Structure 1
Amino acid sequence: MAEKRRTLTGYLLIGSLAVNLLLGGYFIAGLLRHPFHPPNPFVGLPNPHQISAVLPEDSRPLIRSVLDVHEGEVRTAMTRLFTTQKQVAAAMRAEPFDPDRLRAVLDEYSARQMDLIVAHQHTVADLVGRLDAQGRANVAELLKLPPPPKNFKGKFPPPPPQD
């Protein structure tokens, strides 16, 4: 009986060690890994959360009022973008596959992305236009471009051919 208990204890210790190594490795890898930041869909302009973080607390009602004014424009642009995104997926899944149809839908998708960017730009322009000089300066500080990737060698891809 004592030998059986010793064997069970050994298996439990080995299992515990394996779980601890797995969790420890996962935790350490999470600390060392560079966080992924998806590209800003608004091409470098700060979003309302970033703007509100650099403005005084008493500017919250102003921010909310500007967002309320532009909510319809932004919501419409987002809805159209999501609808077009579904059309892109459908064109990719279509049998028989039609590359011309996919190109047309992707062109539409690019136009809907631009509509969303323009709606966001209008919102930012309206909000910044209502701020004092210090508020505008604080928002302007958010417009710094991120540094190039570590493996960037200073060469951009060649330009597309001219038609």
Structure 2
Amino acid sequence: MSTQATGAAPKMRGWVRVLLIASVTLNLLVAGVVIGGVLRHDRHPPAPNVGEVSLGPLTEAFSREDRAALRDRAQERGQNFRDMRQQAKADMEALIAAIEAEPYDPQRVSDLLARQRERTLERAQIGGALIAERLEAMGPEARRALAERLRRGGRHFGPPRDKPDNR
């Protein structure tokens, strides 16, 4: 007696075929998510940790160990960059409120902008001093490696490659 006479085999094959298609589809979806995540990470690396000293591309070019050393040195000096960021956030909220206020008070806005400028300069001075100390502590090979990473990361300073120059 053949399997075709019973009719059970074709139903089983159809069920297996549906299961196989579902499995392949699921595997392709998972692979797409993983590949998409890898590509996104390469194009948009995660932002530095909130507790880190950050001066944009310069800080990003330091190794993870160097960034940890910068953070540790800042803490030794009593610098709390998280508090500074919270103050900057509060300043921005105050500025937004002043811009929306009726009646509009240009002096209040000017004072808030001046305070933001002072805090920004203070953070930049602290960060610059910490970075200068770290550079002094690095050996020639480490400094050359940092310079090369900065050179490769120079795209941060020009217009985006996919957009025209907006001069």
TM range (shorter): 0.5 to 0.7
Aligned residue type for 1:50: S
* Match of residue 34 from structure 2: 27
Indicate which of 41, 44, 59 corresponds to 1:36: 44
CA offset at residue 36 of structure 1?
A: 0.8
RMSD (CA atoms): 4.7
- Share of identical aligned residues, percent? 18
Higher relative helix content: 2
CA offset at residue 16 of structure 1?
A: 1.1
Q: Which protein, 1 or 2, shows the higher relative CO under an 8 Å CA cutoff with sep ≥ 6? A: 1
SS in 2 for 1:123: helix
SS in 2 for 1:146: helix
* Match of residue 117 from structure 1: 124
2:53 aligned with 1:45 = no
Across the two proteins, how many residue pairs are aligned to each other?
Answer: 143
2:95–2:112 Cα contact (<8 Å) kept: no
2:141 aligned with 1:150 = no
1:81–1:109 Cα contact (<8 Å) kept: yes
Q: 1:118 to 1:27 in 2, by over 3 A?
A: same
SS in 1 for 2:26: helix
Aligned pairs for 1:80-159 within 5 A: 80-84=87-91, 87=93, 91=97, 97-98=100-101, 104=109, 107=113, 111-129=118-136, 131=137, 134=140, 137-138=143-144, 141=147, 143-144=150-151, 146-147=154-155, 148=158, 149-153=160-164, 155-157=165-167
Listed one character per residue, the Cα deviations across residues 88-133 of structure 1 (whole Å, up to 9, x for unaligned) are 6974xxxxx54968x949835565444333321122233335x377
If the length of structure 2 is used for normalisation, what is the TM-score? Answer: 0.52
Aligned residue type for 1:122: A
Provide structure 1 residue ranges, at least 5 long, that are not aligned to the other structure: 55-59, 92-96, 158-163
Q: 1:128 to 1:135 in 2, by over 3 A?
A: farther
2:77 aligned with 1:70 = yes
